[in-house]
């Protein structure tokens, strides 16, 4: 299963690269940060639908192409935007920081060369852990929390905020 998830991620990244090559514009990739091997739970599906609505609301007037992708890595949306890449990233971060489910939204803005714009590019701190508010990368690398703990917290967040 992990191999299939990694394969899906590579396929998605290759699609991003192709879109950048074709359009010469930034590409937003939106997906859900859902832990574990099953990225297609009913909770992840509900959260993705909410993310999709938020992205379309904020970006639709700038969108020149969009494509939904489904697979072992869950659902994602690619949107080619006719707008400044840093402005696109600021909008993405606003959604991640202000939406009730923003902590589990993963919205990347890719630019020419295939790099994504990091939070630090616009002077934002790294993502915080959903359980303890430490740097999420440190908690993940150190296995500070169990998979079940993180999944339970995320599922409760989704079910509490989406019908």
What CATH number does residue 80 fall under? 3.30.70.100
Helix, strand and coil in the chain, % to nearest 5: 55, 15, 30
Residue 104 covered by a domain? yes
The pLDDT of residue 51 is 96
Side by side, the strands of the sheet bearing 63-69 are: 63-69, 76-81, 27-32, 105-110
Residue 43: domain span: 2-124
Sequence-distant (≥ 6) Cβ neighbours of residue 154 within 8 angstroms: 34, 35, 43, 104, 130
Residue 157 covered by a domain? no
The pLDDT mean for the chain works out to 93
The pLDDT of residue 133 is 82
The pLDDT of residue 150 is 93
Residue 109 covered by a domain? yes
Residue 158 covered by a domain? no
Is residue 34 scored above 80 in pLDDT? yes
pTM: 0.92
Report how far residue 88's alpha carbon sits from residue 44's, in angstroms, rounded to the nearest whole number.
24
Residue 45 covered by a domain? yes
Residue 132 covered by a domain? no
Q: How far is CA 57 from CA 52, 75, 104, 134, in A?
A: 8, 18, 18, 31
Per residue in 55-85, pLDDT (tens digit) is: 999 999 999 999 999 999 999 999 999 999 9
Domain count for the chain = 1
């Amino acid at each position: 299963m992990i191999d299939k998830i990694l394969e899906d991620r590579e396929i998605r990244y290759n699609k991003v690269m192709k879109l950048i090559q074709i359009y010469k514009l930034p590409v937003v990739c939106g997906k859900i940060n859902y832990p574990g091997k099953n990225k297609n739970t009913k909770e992840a599906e509900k959260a993705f639908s909410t993310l999709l609505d938020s992205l379309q609301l904020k970006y639709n007037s700038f969108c020149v192409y969009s494509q939904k992708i489904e697979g072992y890595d869950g659902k994602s949306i690619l949107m080619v935007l006719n707008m400044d890449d840093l402005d696109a990233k600021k909008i993405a971060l606003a959604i991640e920081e202000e939406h009730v489910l923003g902590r589990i939204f993963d919205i990347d803005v890719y630019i020419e060369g295939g790099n994504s714009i990091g939070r630090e590019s616009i002077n934002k701190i790294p993502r915080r852990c959903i359980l303890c508010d430490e740097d999420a990368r440190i908690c993940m690398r150190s296995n500070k929390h169990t998979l079940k703990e993180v999944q339970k917290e995320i599922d409760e967040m989704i079910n509490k905020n989406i019908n």
